[in-house]
Chain A
């Protein structure tokens, strides 16, 4: 099983009365709450944490893209990934990812990800998210009725740009270019592994199956709520004649490890409550622009009682923060001693049948010391209990193939 260390980079100093005084953490959040001097320190702490995770032996470090929000300070994950490509050696770099429809032309994504693959020596995982409604339709003004069409066209263009050796014209529905010919090209051939983060739409599952991409379910609501979605995914894979290789699927899980469960409950209460109370305080106005979800998805969501229950759990958490006891009881955050966490995560991986486990070990206002503690304890005492899972039975076809270590460049040390 692969263990990926994922940073959302939340703004950690939203005020205590944020939820009462501000309608939304996203889109129209008050910019006066952002202190650039504190931002300077947060970015460095967060990047230290990612580098530390790489040093601690996680298989990959992950970054992602969000706009106009206090939930995640990475409008451009590629900037962070570029630094990680220089400051880490062997860890895979998972950019999870670039919201394809927001780049004009989308060739920009082909270029930047090829740069990252070159700089990192072929360690890149290319995530292709559609993007949240808040990011795409509201912050970036993308048309919700055209978002997915543009996304799919951008995907096709990027893949062709990576793999077609000669310059070619592109006369698409939304993009017209006479000369597509990006320099550089990726190290990995035919291209870096493509992972698709999704929210549970059938069309996305089918598309991942068709293209043989990894589907990752990035849920804030833990494995219990994720079960219905992942069951749906595997049923669809079966229907489409795909094997049950667990490395086809990724899942995101919040984790808090300490020496004992009691200590973990004490340490992770505040950051978890901060996350569910402030980082997820999204105004419902920005949650469902018409056309963002397909009619098939809406019908399925409304008609499926199981999914309805999962949605209710999500809605409740998104728009009325749960208590820490509830957060833990429902498995949104897995907390405990190393053995307890390992046991629960083994259950998560097995019950959801996911081989690419993305871990949030920093969340909410968790500071650098606690993040380091959580990361180190996980790496030393939890990870060894999970490694090897699925690997004797299945091959991970969706992992980067970097250049040999001794063939890769060595960045110079920073002087002084």
Chain B
């Protein structure tokens, strides 16, 4: 793969403007993608597959790889404003939007706070709800040896291809990038991932696809139905057989196909 076109956008209020990475690849109508846990340090197979059918625009959320500063975002309004700033700078106002994990929760918040901003929504294993009887796994409280099996149904491959430092990169900075990405998600979602999204989902009026990996060990399968029941727009729920929480890593082609079919 030849990789995406990369640019940097400066967003935020005066005096606190930060550069954030935006990747673009493919032809056709744009579809925005907000990455899941750990973000995308390198162009991943899922986005490559997706770019086969649409023009993929993937802005990096604050704190994720390429996403830059995030420690000035203190609460949900700060994060929603920062996400709206980023999506606008990436020229995604009115476009279809795919969000994974924490990116899914933020995509849903954007759709709820700014109806009309998102055309159609795809939520892949979205965070944002918390049921005490079926809690979202505390993925922060994992031993490093447990993280691959928590996030992926292909833990060995995940450890090798996502977590391990690739040749040519500084091992310390690579590891810090992962800690920083988890911290950024913690900054908004610690400790339960519930920032009240359930009270706002009725404001999501666009067509929405919710995808859940059958082997997801972070988000309970029942959350997909909770999202579907609460969202006001037309919803579809799809299960992705054999995929874990990071379904984009475990089943990139199948996930891209589901997304493209929904957005046809």
Seen from chain A, the residues whose Cβ lies within 8 Å of a Cβ on chain B are: 137-138, 141, 143-146, 149, 173-174, 283-286, 289-291, 295, 298-299, 302-303
Contacts and interface: CB of A to CB of B under 8 A. Distances in A.
A266 B175 CA distance: 45
A298 B183 contact: no
B141 interface: yes
A291 B141 contact: no
Nearest to A285: B141
Given A141-B190, A143-B186, A289 B71 contact: no
Contacts of B176: 295, 298-299
A20 B186 CA distance: 31
Nearest to A174: B74
Contact of A146 (B74, B146, B175, B180): B74
A295 B186 contact: no
Contacts of A173: 74
Contact of A303 (B74, B143, B172, B184): B172
B191 interface: yes
Nearest to B185: A290
B145 to A, nearest CB: 9
Interface in B177-203: 179-180, 182-184, 186-187, 190-191
A290 B71 CA distance: 13
Contacts, number: 57
9 contacts: A138-B141, A143-B190, A145-B71, A289-B186, A290-B183, A295-B179, A295-B180, A299-B176, A303-B172
A291 B190 CA distance: 11
A291 B186 contact: yes
Given A298-B176, A303-B172, A145 B187 contact: yes
A143 B140 CA distance: 11
Contacts of A303: 172
Nearest to B144: A284
Counting chain B CB atoms within 10 Å of each CB, which of A145, A284, A289, A298 scores highest? Answer: A145
B172 A290 contact: no
Contacts of B183: 144-145, 290-291
B172 A302 contact: yes
Contacts of A290: 140, 179-180, 182-183, 186
B142 interface: yes
Contact of B140 (A146, A149, A284, A289): A289
Contacts of B146: 285
A312 to B, nearest CB: 15
A144 B185 CA distance: 11
Interface in B138-179: 140-143, 146, 172, 175-176, 179
Contacts of B184: 145
Given A145-B183, A285-B143, A286-B141, 13 more contacts: A137-B191, A144-B140, A145-B71, A145-B186, A145-B190, A289-B190, A290-B140, A290-B179, A290-B186, A291-B179, A291-B183, A291-B186, A302-B172
A174 B78 CA distance: 13
Counting chain B CB atoms within 10 Å of each CB, which of A141, A283, A289, A299 scores highest? Answer: A289
A318 to B, nearest CB: 13
Contacts of A289: 140-141, 186, 190
Counting chain B CB atoms within 10 Å of each CB, which of A138, A143, A174, A303 scores highest? Answer: A143
A291 B187 contact: yes
A256 to B, nearest CB: 33
Nearest to B72: A173
Nearest to A295: B176
Contacts of A141: 190-191
B191 to A, nearest CB: 5
Contacts of A174: 74
Contacts of A143: 186-187, 190-191
A55 B264 CA distance: 82
Contacts of A295: 176, 179-180
A191 B156 CA distance: 56
B65 to A, nearest CB: 14
Nearest to B182: A290
Contacts of B71: 145, 149
B172 A299 contact: yes
B144 to A, nearest CB: 8
A286 B172 CA distance: 21
Contacts of B179: 290-291, 295, 298
A239 B1 CA distance: 51
Contacts of A145: 71, 183-184, 186-187, 190
Counting chain B CB atoms within 10 Å of each CB, which of A141, A144, A299 scores highest? Answer: A144
Contacts of B142: 285
Contact of A137 (B172, B175, B190): B190
A225 B183 CA distance: 29
A118 B182 CA distance: 44
A1 to B, nearest CB: 39
Nearest to A289: B140
